[in-house]
């Protein structure tokens, strides 16, 4: 492999730690510093993530190695070996683990009413109103019912809802990018690094984005992905793939590898990282068992002729085999 690793896609916390690692490594050139300044100025979320990463970096300097979690090696300020290619990616490894560790231990997860660990799923739960909810791996949900409303907060992860009818008490699920109101329905909500995906399995839902825009009625069989704005609407979604996790399966039909890896990361304690943008769009079709993500990873590698480098089993770098 040649060249430095690209900035991790999606999660701003990982991106912030990527920049912090690069800028303190002694390897950053003027062009990369300008790229960082542009990234930092893009939006408030980047600034917040940068301040958090920088603050934590300073705190870490006062820790001894034995004080740090065993699964997250202690990052240091020593410059990495000046060798081009994959060895440089390892300079970011500890910080990437740290970013994921922080993200997964957000206070919202700790204080949610219902939550699942990585690799765990709940059997369907019955809520006080008779509605049902099932949580996928790494999911946190809070419930706030009143006499007039049924409000739930999906802090992260993925959940399936089957709503008990009650027109006098609207059923609404709030996410970081907007809310989903049931119109007598069953639906699935999945949080992604930069957006939310909703698939309607029965009847319809109403979508309201955080900026006030929305979709008045998303019908049965349709799906939507939205972040700061509506990104995509699919009138005929792949319902089997959207519901597969409830049967402990992952189904991909000609999906980009970036999306496949993001899904697989839901079921692994750690992180799989693609080391080049050129890998992101590689198409993959297959069915995998969510209870054995390691087998799924090996099948994906074999199918696409990829190799890996591991920093323990928690952090796996995928790269293309040299011809």
Average pLDDT for residues 255-263, to the nearest whole number?
A: 94
pLDDT tens column, 66-86: 433 333 333 333 333 343 443
pLDDT higher at 250 or 10: 250
Q: How much is the pLDDT for 27?
A: 62
pLDDT higher at 303 or 269: 303
Mean per-residue pLDDT over the chain, rounded: 81
Query: Would you say residue 206 has pLDDT above 60?
Result: yes
Instruction: Give the Cα separation of 12 and 315 in Å (integer).
Output: 18
Banded model confidence at residue 52, pLDDT cuts 50, 70, 90: confident
Banded model confidence at residue 23, pLDDT cuts 50, 70, 90: confident
Residue 293 phi, psi dihedral angles, 5° rounding: -65, -25
Residue 231 phi, psi dihedral angles, 5° rounding: -95, -40
Q: What percent of the chain has pLDDT over 90?
A: 52
Average pLDDT for residues 152-172, to the nearest whole number?
A: 95
Q: How much is the pLDDT for 2?
A: 37
Indicate the pTM of the whole model: 0.70
Query: Would you say residue 307 has pLDDT above 70?
Result: yes
Query: What's the gap between Cα 148 and its chain centre?
Result: 33
CA angle 270/273/279 to nearest 5° reads: 150
164 is written with which tokens?
């008990």
On whether the CB atoms of residues 159 and 139 are closer than 8 A, the answer is yes
Q: How much is the pLDDT for 58?
A: 56
Q: How much is the pLDDT for 7?
A: 66
Average pLDDT for residues 278-307, to the nearest whole number?
A: 94
CA atoms within 13 A on the CB side of 84: 3
Residue 316: strand pairing partners: 272, 310
84 is written with which tokens?
């081009």
Query: Would you say residue 48 has pLDDT above 70?
Result: yes
For the chain, first and last CA: distance in Å?
11
Q: How much is the pLDDT for 226?
A: 96
Banded model confidence at residue 17, pLDDT cuts 50, 70, 90: confident
Burial of 299 (0-12, 13-18, 19+ CB in 10 A): middle
Q: How much is the pLDDT for 136?
A: 96
Report the 3 state secondary structure along the chain: CCCCCCCCCCCHHHHHHHHHHHHCCCCCCHHHHHHHHHHHHHCHHHHHHHHHHHHHHHHHCCCCHHHCCCCCCCCCCCCCCCCCCHHHHHHHHHHHHHHHHHHHCCHHHHCCCEECCCCCCCCCEECCCCCEEEECCCCEEEEEECCCCEEEEEEECEEEEECCCCCCCCEEEEECCEEEEECCCEEEEEEECCEEEEEEEECEEEEEECCCCEEEEEECCCEEEECCCEEEEECCCCHHHHHHHHHCEEEEEEEEHHHHHHHHHHHCCCEEEECCHHHCCCEEEEEEECCCHHHHHHHHHHHHCEEEEEECCCEEEEEECCC
Query: Would you say residue 104 has pLDDT above 50?
Result: no
Query: Would you say residue 61 has pLDDT above 50?
Result: no
Query: Would you say residue 191 has pLDDT above 90?
Result: yes
Q: How much is the pLDDT for 318?
A: 87
Query: Would you say residue 253 has pLDDT above 60?
Result: yes
Question: Which residues have C-beta within 8 Å of that of residue 104, sequence separation ≥ 6?
Answer: 118, 138
Q: How much is the pLDDT for 26?
A: 59
* Complete domains list, the chain, with CATH: 1-105 (no CATH), 110-239 (2.60.120.1440), 248-323 (3.55.50.30)
Query: What's the gap between Cα 307 and its chain centre?
Result: 23
29 is written with which tokens?
């050139």
pLDDT tens column, 105-156: 455 667 789 999 888 887 899 999 999 999 999 999 999 999 999 999 999 9
């Amino acid at each position: 492999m040649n060249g430095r690793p690209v900035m991790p896609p999606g999660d701003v916390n990982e991106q912030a730690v990527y920049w912090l690692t690069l800028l303190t490594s002694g390897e950053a050139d003027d062009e990369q510093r300008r790229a960082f300044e542009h990234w930092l100025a893009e939006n408030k979320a980047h600034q917040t993530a940068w301040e958090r990463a920088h603050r934590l970096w300073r705190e870490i300097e006062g820790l001894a190695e034995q004080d740090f979690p065993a699964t997250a090696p202690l990052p240091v300020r020593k410059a990495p070996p000046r060798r081009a290619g994959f060895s440089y990616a390892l300079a970011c490894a500890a910080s990437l683990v740290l970013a994921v560790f922080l993200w997964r231990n957000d206070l919202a997860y700790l204080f949610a009413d219902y939550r699942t660990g990585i690799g765990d799923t709940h059997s369907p739960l019955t809520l006080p109103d008779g509605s049902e909810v099932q949580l996928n791996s790494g999911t946190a949900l809070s419930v706030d019912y009143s006499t007039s409303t049924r409000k739930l907060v999906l802090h992260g992860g993925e959940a399936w809802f089957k709503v008990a009818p009650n027109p006098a008490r609207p059923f609404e699920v709030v996410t970081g990018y907007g809310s989903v109101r049931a119109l007598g329905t069953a639906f699935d909500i999945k949080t992604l690094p930069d957006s939310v995906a909703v698939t309607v399995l029965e009847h319809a839902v109403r979508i309201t984005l955080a900026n006030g825009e929305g979709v008045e009625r998303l019908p049965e069989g349709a799906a939507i992905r939205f972040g700061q704005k509506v990104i995509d609407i699919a009138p005929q979604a792949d319902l089997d793939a959207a519901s597969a996790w409830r049967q402990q399966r992952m189904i991909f039909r000609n999906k980009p590898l970036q999306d496949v890896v993001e899904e697989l990361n839901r079921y692994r304690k750690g992180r799989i990282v693609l080391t080049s943008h050129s890998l992101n769009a590689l198409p993959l079709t297959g069915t995998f068992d969510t209870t054995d993500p390691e087998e799924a990873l090996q099948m994906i590698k074999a199918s696409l002729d990829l190799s890996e480098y591991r920093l323990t089993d928690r952090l796996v770098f995928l790269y293309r085999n040299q011809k």
